[in-house]
Amino acid sequence: MKIVITRKIPPSIVSLMEDGHEVYMWDDEETVMPRQLLLQHAADADAIFTNVSDRIDKELLGRAPRLKVVSTMAVGYNNIDIAEAKKRGIRVGHTPEVLSEAVADLTFALLLGTARRVVEADRYTRAGKWKGWGPMLLTGQDVYGAAIGIIGMGRIGRGVARRAKGFGMHILYHNRTRKPEAEQELGAQWRSLEQLLSESDYVVMLAPSTPETHSMIGPRQFAQMKPNAILINTSRGGNVDEQALYDALTTGKIWGAGLDVFETEPIGKEHPLLQLPNVIALPHIGSATIETRLQMADIAARNLLAALRNERMLYSVIG
């Protein structure tokens, strides 16, 4: 059977799929597989090994009559037309759980880095601007003992809360359903979204990408936040209205933002948010540790192969 891999992955993972199968891999680690090339190879593909950057939509699925499985090297699958895949009997696998702690680490790193202006201070030093100690030079915000509001208390949210507990933070959370285990283990307190926004020094967006969460944080929500508040988003870019965020940052409605995700990725250097000194912007590297990415690739490959053998996948969205 033919397997299409849309991004360069380690040889050890490719070798898992080469046994008895024809494998085509887009041999570039950083650039997205060109759309026309993806459509061309999907036409006779039995399986696609994909990632968050690829658009596996109705058009592509309609051009892939042999396709049996789409396996994404990610937790989220909003780039895949799930309804269309289900209609066509195409199985879909993903890679949850394995990346939760890595993303929680990166989320808290962004929180600390934004609060203490780490990237800005590094650039200041490298540019030769440091002339001596100043009482208010590059002062930031306190983290220890501050209030953190976590939107989305899933596995990653609980991981962030555990780290916040170590910093003596007051932990608030908003979730569609209460999480008694998190409340008991971490001392987390449920709040309505409005309450969380008004009480938190740090608002951490970890909600999944759904029609309900699209632009969940917009002009009205920024108006409810503290002027010293910092927004951290390591969920999906579409969960935050980027124009509203830019306006909030430039008018002093909030103090700063740490972002690992954007509505359209990748972004160019001309993106408005990249022009602001009170923003740390990362290239969607929440799960980017060597160990985690290798585990994700391994699970995605094993999901794909299981589906081709008509066996149960390790983690499935469909089938």
Domains and CATH numbers, the chain: 2-97+290-318 (3.40.50.720), 100-281 (3.40.50.720)
Q: How confident is the model at residue 30 (pLDDT cuts 50, 70, 90)?
A: confident
**Catalytic residue check, 236:** yes
Average pLDDT estimate for 264-272: 95
Q: Which of 158, 284, 293, 302 is catalytic?
A: 284
Burial (Cβ within 10 Å: 0-12, 13-18, ≥19) of residue 186: buried
73-128 pLDDT per residue, tens: 999 999 999 999 999 999 999 999 999 999 999 999 999 999 999 999 999 999 99
Catalytic residue among 236, 242, 293, 302: 236
In sequence order, the 6+-apart residues with CB closer than 8 A to the CB of 316 are 91, 92, 93, 94, 303
**Cβ–Cβ < 8 Å for 267, 274:** yes
Query: Which pLDDT belongs to residue 319?
Result: 86
Would you say 52 and 284 are in contact if contact means Cβ atoms under 8 Å apart?
yes
Q: Which residues contact 164 (CB under 8 A, 6 or more apart)?
A: 108, 148, 150, 171
| pLDDT band at residue 29 using 50, 70 and 90 as cut-offs | confident
pLDDT at 161: 98
Q: How do residues 167-179 score in pLDDT, each as one tens digit?
A: 999 999 999 999 9
Residue 72 pLDDT level (bands cut at 50, 70, 90): very high
CA distance 245 to 144: 25
Regarding beta strands 202-205 and 230-233, do their DSSP bridges make them parallel or antiparallel, or are they unpaired? parallel
The residue from 66, 265, 311, 312 that is catalytic is 265
pLDDT above 90 coverage of the chain, percent: 97
Closest of 306, 309, 284, 307 to residue 7, by C-alpha: 284
Known catalytic residue at 185: no
Q: Would you call 265 a catalytic residue per the annotation? A: yes
In this structure, are residues 254 and 230 in contact, taking their beta carbons and an 8 Å threshold? Answer: yes
Q: Report the alpha-carbon distance of residue 319 to residue 311 in Å, rounded.
A: 9
